[in-house]
Chains A and B, each alone.
Chain A
Amino acid sequence: NAGVTQTPKFRVLKTGQSMTLLCAQDMNHEYMYWYRQDPGMGLRLIHYSVGEGTTAKGEVPDGYNVSRLKKQNFLLGLESAAPSQTSVYFCASRPSSVGTTYGYTFGSGTRLTVV
């Protein structure tokens, strides 16, 4: 199993450009998440999804949109990139029911620089 795959791994954007980050999981997990990590900070939740066709805002949603048209894919879009969105982006997934087990799987991250 590949687990959680993020594409691309690196990207440089100019201010105002748009792009989409793709997160794909092959574990049939219901829950999926997008986090961002800035220097000296932990991960902060941008958006999340509890199932196909549903999305919700996290802690820092401004400037981002998401879609989950298929259960295995969770897309993060930047419509008009800003330097403040320079960050490392992590996708994660988890089954809806984990009991007392851990359950999370993280992708390897996308390093985005906006100049």
Chain B
Amino acid sequence: EDKVVQSPLSLVVHEGDTVTLNCSYEVTNFRSLLWYKQEKKAPTFLFMLTSSGIEKKSGRLSSILDKKELFSILNITATQTGDSAVYLCAVEASGTSYGKLTFGQGTILTVHP
């Protein structure tokens, strides 16, 4: 059974801080790892990672995958109050998984002014 574990479960920081969110996984026939941001509505796609060691970057957010150690991190630098959200990690298997996603429980990030 595929499994995704995120840590920490919640995090409270002040504006300007840098945060690192963790995601470890177990999946048969790994295809991709996905990061989402969720603000009281549907998850918003952030990154898709398929190759180990290649950093994906978008503004103040970046993410990297380690396929040997089976984990990924999401970094947010110079945090802003608008970064407050639940961050979800999910994995997709290849083959006959038909695109099914296994999600972690999420990390609740709160950024105070």
Binding site for B on A (CB under 8 A): 31, 33, 35, 40-45, 48, 50, 56, 58-59, 90, 94, 96, 98, 100-104, 106-109
Contact = CB atoms under 8 A, between A and B. Distances in A.
B45 A48 contact: no
A95 to B, nearest CB: 9
Given A31-B98, A50-B98, A100-B50, A42 B103 contact: yes
Interface of B: 4, 6, 9, 34, 41-43, 45, 48, 50, 88, 90, 98-106
Contacts of B102: 45, 59
Given A41-B106, A42-B4, A100-B50, A94 B42 contact: no
5 contacts: A42-B104, A59-B102, A96-B98, A96-B99, A108-B41
Given A31-B98, A100-B50, A44 B103 contact: yes
Given A58-B100, A106-B43, 9 more contacts: A35-B103, A40-B105, A41-B105, A42-B4, A48-B98, A56-B98, A90-B42, A103-B99, A104-B45
A43 B43 contact: yes
A105 B102 CA distance: 16
Q: Looking at chain A's contact residues, is the secondary structure mostly helix, strand, loop, or mixed?
A: loop
A106 B42 contact: yes
Nearest to B4: A42
A31 B99 CA distance: 8
Closest 5 CB pairs between A and B?
A: A42-B103, A106-B42, A43-B103, A94-B99, A102-B48
A91 B98 CA distance: 15
B88 A43 contact: yes
Contacts of A103: 99
A110 to B, nearest CB: 11
